[in-house]
Amino acid sequence: PTDFFALKGVLEALLVGLHVPEVRCEPVAHPSFVPGRTASLGRDGAELGVFGELHPDVAAAFDLPEGPTYVAELDLERIATAAGAATRVRPVPRYPPALRDLAVVVAETVPAGELVAVIREAGGPLLADVRLFDVYRGQQVAGGQKSLAVSLAFQAPDRTLTDAEVDGTTHAVVEALTARLGAQLRV
């Protein structure tokens, strides 16, 4: 994988394919990985694995090429146990989702998982899904900050949502991000 989020996507797809539901991804410290670029995968309090950018000293010890190296360490026994658990099936929605993309600028120290947690809480019952799809650090963002872009899917089980409902919930999400994380909407 080319970066942290590409590896995260590969691991999430693997776990979905193995029918391992409700996996949480949380920042974690691990001596083999670069601080701040490491996360654990867990379910029901059990750690299924850890992944991230391999620490340069560890990469050098294995004679790996210079530059970022992204790896995962998975507990296959725990994954097999979780995969053997009953799979919950949800009916196919009858009404289409309404999609919105947001890009917000936050301090470099704000974990993406915290941003997603605030969005889930503020989005309420109409928020069906949140997906982080981009992290930008560069000329268009001040030093010590980063831009996180998320895709939001809003959906109700009993009706098609109106633009007013979706816009109102999106506004509530932006307000919560501003109040709790000091986020600024990036236009």
Segment 4-41, tens digit of pLDDT: 888 998 998 898 888 887 888 889 999 999 998 899 99
The two domains 4-83 and 98-185 share their CATH topology (first three levels equal): no
What is the C-alpha separation between 136 and 115, in angstroms, rounded? 15
Query: What CATH class has 98-185?
Result: alpha beta
What was the pLDDT predicted at 87? 61
What was the pLDDT predicted at 169? 97
What was the pLDDT predicted at 116? 92
What was the pLDDT predicted at 24? 87
What was the pLDDT predicted at 83? 83
For residue 131, give both structure tokens. Answer: 């997906």
What is the C-alpha separation between 69 and 31, in angstroms, rounded? 15
Nearest to 148 by CA among 103, 114, 101: 103
pLDDT tens figures, 61-119: 999 998 999 999 999 999 988 887 656 677 888 999 999 999 999 999 998 889 999 99
Q: Where are the chain's structural domains?
A: 4-83, 98-185
What is the C-alpha separation between 109 and 140, in angstroms, rounded? 18
What is the C-alpha separation between 116 and 165, in angstroms, rounded? 20
User: For the chain, where are the E strands, in sequence order?
Assistant: 24-27, 33-43, 46-54, 70-74, 98-107, 127-136, 145-154, 184-185
What was the pLDDT predicted at 85? 60
For residue 116, give both structure tokens. Answer: 């997603």
What was the pLDDT predicted at 18? 87
pLDDT-derived band at 182 (thresholds 50, 70, 90) equals: very high
What is the C-alpha separation between 1 and 157, in angstroms, rounded? 36
Residue 179 reports pLDDT greater than 90: yes
Across 134-144, average pLDDT: 92
Q: pTM (2 decimals)?
A: 0.66
4-83: CATH homologous superfamily?
Bira Bifunctional Protein; Domain 2 (3.30.930.10)
pLDDT-derived band at 160 (thresholds 50, 70, 90) equals: very high
- Give CA separation, 35 vs 38, 61, 76, 86, 159, in Å: 6, 18, 24, 35, 45
What was the pLDDT predicted at 88? 67
Residues in the chain: 187
pLDDT-derived band at 44 (thresholds 50, 70, 90) equals: confident
